[in-house]
Structure 1
Amino acid sequence: MSLAGIAPPATTRPHLLAFLGGLAACLLVLLAILPLADGALPGVFAASLLLGVGFVLLDFGFAGSFRALLERGDGRMTGASFAAPAVAALVILPMAGLAEGYGRFVAPVGLSLVLGAALFGIGMQIASGCGSGVLVAAGQGSRRMAVALPFFCVGGVVGSLLLPAALRLPSLGTLDLVAWFGPWGGLLVTEALLALAAAAVLRGAWPGWSALRRAAIIGALAALLFLASGMPWGITTGLTLWAAQPAQWLGADLMAHEFWQVPWAQAALAGPLLASHSSLANLGLMLGAFLAAAARGQLRHGVALGWRGAAGAALGGLLMGIGAQLSFGCNIGAFLGGASSASLHGLAWFLAVLPGCWLGIRLRAAFGLQRRSTDP
């Protein structure tokens, strides 16, 4: 995600009517979720709204930082981003290990993850946005992300059909630091590994307190969402449901496929869309970004999008959706959620996404995008 690199807003005047419309939309969502049986939903929605506001106000992202790292060797923003899972882990690991009702993201490290993360990296660069970036920029009114978002959702469904076969590819299995060292030992090892990974990316450079502070705030807000939801923040499941439920309504028998025969997937597919924590959090992230952008006069609906940009957004969104399913999440669910859960698949995802980003950067010009990052 690179909010600064998409395009400058046409005006910085607050959009009062848009802001009021966003508040009305938030009220409608609250009215829709209050009758549902899950008492965690209002907290999930509130925390995701704060995340959307935070991403806009902090101008925090991932896609541009990967370009800076791979093109210029500038790892300051990427290195600083490791502060997000480091902060979130301070809450997630003790709570998941010691408190009832809280869990973690633990996934296997294998070819499925490697292939999926690489696909995601390609898509992230040619769409010019990551999992969180697509939602945040779409909330700000970006035409590019309005194209990428539905294709991400469709890609998630395609990936769900491919995942059972991908899971049969060679794998090391789960590499869970909590299982090896316990909650507190797992936390210490997790923080040490994140610090070492950041140091390797930074290579002696200093990211600056501002970059570290922004990443830490995102990590703290992710921890807040975890406290409300009971699970780390994830995006892919919700986006997949946004395409899967309409497909089911139109007659596609998704429940005949292996992925959708798992009890939680069946329940999510058959239940209300806003009852899914991931789906609700995605909507909250977009609305929070919309409110922040409207208040600051930074709505992006006026930025033109040519056919090459639309093609890149569509293809990038599709690849991100497929890749996120195969790699057990995007930059949020796999990297931030996995690393903060003391599962080594989070750091493995980070390594595996780099070759995909490298290739995607070299394809950007074909879709009318600058190759080099313009992020600070």
Structure 2
Amino acid sequence: MSAVLPLPVARPHWPGLALGLAGVALVAARLPAGMAPVFAVALALGLAFVLLDYGFAGGFRAFLQSGDGRALGASFIAPAVAALVVLPVGLLAEGFGRFVAPLGLPLLVGAAIFGVGMQLANGCGSGTLVAAGQGSRRMWVALPFFCLGGVLGSLLVPAAMRLPDLGVVDLGALLGPWGGLAATLAMLLAGALLVLRGARPRAAELRAGAIIGGLAGLMFLASGLPWGITTGLTLWGAKAAMMMGADMPAAPFWAEGWARAALDGSLLALDSSLADIGLLLGALLAAAAQGRLRHRQPVSLRGAAGAALGGVLMGVGARLAYGCNVGAFLGGGASGSLHGVIWVAAALPGSWLGIRLRPVFGLN
């Protein structure tokens, strides 16, 4: 009889855990009034992404490379669950907003550009932050270039907004809170079925997507807006550019309104920026607690070049397309805006091109 060897017990990475806890304490001590719930939900999201091993980019790749739409199809449950909160509360309660955007060339081109970058960087907006929190050297290359791309994209936004479009298709505004919710759920189900093409999604992926969607709903209640990633990263890039002497307030995008207030304020005062910090720290805590930090994995020169190019493309694309997998697909879909589902369709051809460019940068 052969002996059954015990499974290895995961040992925490104590220095990483201490670093994460110190980061949480530092941020918590400096939080503006009323922002603690946003930070808490963001930490929970970071923990969930790591513990559930959840991500978006791999689903696009599996669908385009092998026709396996189970992961991508299962991801539609995240905006569906979030919509149960976002759409009725956003329409019926004061102080809450939704992500709705027009259907036009900026959306199509931006999502396609983002798709290319997502495959070259090997992660999307949330994936970049989560993997960086896990210690990925590749994503620590991609992250600053993502911020740079966001700044470049913000300079293009005013011209892009002058292009003709088909206007906003807002199911909530058209059908009311409950009719809009029913139509939104039907829209997301139809999108999932088109991707699945008769396949049955894995229960674990549906469960993970539902948890992420539920946490996104909590983020909406905490902040008053759907969860977004790339606006915060763009602000990080803009503040860094100002430190190097750039006159960002002179750019139309940053000249007034929330953008000017964000430039003048703390990084912790903008919901998206604080949520990005919390997501990164939550991922660090989860990975360190499980002994799953990735800081020892080397990155080649070709890999770093792909991460840098991918980061820039994701930053530019996200600004033109009103967000990424989280802000556009999850947030827009949960808001009852048709642009959320169109974003996925437009990101597919970009991902197809990105997959074919991956070998150039040492990726399978």
Letter in 2 for 1:135: L
1:193 equivalent in alignment to 2:187: yes
Match of 1:78? 72
Match of 2:245? 251
Letter in 2 for 1:62: F
Q: What is the CA distance between 1:94 and its match in structure 2?
A: 1.2
1:20 equivalent in alignment to 2:14: no
Q: Distance in 2 between matches of 1:126 and 1:14?
A: 31
Match of 2:110? 116
Q: Which runs of 4+ in 1 moved over 2 A?
A: none
1:103 equivalent in alignment to 2:112: no
Match of 2:129? 135
Q: Deviations over 1:112-164 (max 9, x none)?
A: 01110000000000110001000000000000000000000000000000011
Residue 230 (structure 2) aligned to one of 236, 242, 253: 236
Match of 1:279? 273
Q: Gaps (5+ residues) in structure 1?
A: 1-10, 371-376
Secondary structure at the aligned position of 1:274 is classed as coil
Match of 1:340? 334
Letter in 1 for 2:91: G
Secondary structure at the aligned position of 1:205 is classed as coil
Q: Distance in 1 between matches of 2:190 and 2:253?
A: 36
Give the structure-1-normalised TM-score: 0.93
Q: Distance in 2 between matches of 1:99 and 1:90?
A: 14
Q: What is the CA distance between 1:208 and its match in structure 2?
A: 2.1
Match of 1:66? 60
Letter in 1 for 2:29: L
Letter in 1 for 2:125: G
Q: Distance in 1 between matches of 2:154 and 2:354?
A: 23
Q: Distance in 2 between matches of 1:368 and 1:339?
A: 34
Letter in 1 for 2:297: V
Match of 1:323? 317
Q: Where do 1:43-62 residues align within 5 Å? A: 43-62=37-56
Q: Deviations over 1:176-201 (max 9, x none)?
A: 11111011111000000101110111
Letter in 1 for 2:355: I
Letter in 1 for 2:159: A
1:351 equivalent in alignment to 2:349: no
Q: Distance in 1 between matches of 2:303 and 2:153?
A: 24
Q: Gaps (5+ residues) in structure 2?
A: 1-8
Q: Distance in 1 between matches of 2:190 and 2:240?
A: 44
Q: Distance in 2 between matches of 1:81 and 1:342?
A: 16
What RMSD over aligned residues (CA atoms) do the two structures have, in Å? 1.0
Q: Name which of structure 1's ranges 328-337 and 258-267 shifts more when overlaid on structure 2.
A: 258-267
Q: Where do 1:6-45 residues align within 5 Å? A: 12-33=10-31, 36=32, 38-39=33-34, 41-45=35-39
Secondary structure at the aligned position of 2:225 is classed as coil
Letter in 2 for 1:127: A
Q: Deviations over 1:297-352 (max 9, x none)?
A: 10000000000000000000000000000000011001100000001110111110
Q: Distance in 1 between matches of 2:294 and 2:228?
A: 25
Q: Deviations over 1:244-266 (max 9, x none)?
A: 01212322111111111231111
Q: What is the CA distance between 1:12 and its match in structure 2?
A: 4.4
Secondary structure at the aligned position of 2:336 is classed as coil
Q: What is the CA distance between 1:169 and its match in structure 2?
A: 1.6
Secondary structure at the aligned position of 1:275 is classed as coil
Give the structure-2-normalised TM-score: 0.96
Q: Distance in 2 between matches of 1:42 and 1:189?
A: 34
Letter in 1 for 2:48: G
1:172 equivalent in alignment to 2:166: yes
Letter in 2 for 1:27: A
Q: Distance in 2 between matches of 1:249 and 1:137?
A: 27
Q: Distance in 2 between matches of 1:249 and 1:211?
A: 42
**Aligned residues, how many?**
356
Match of 2:143? 149
Match of 1:291? 285
1:162 equivalent in alignment to 2:156: yes
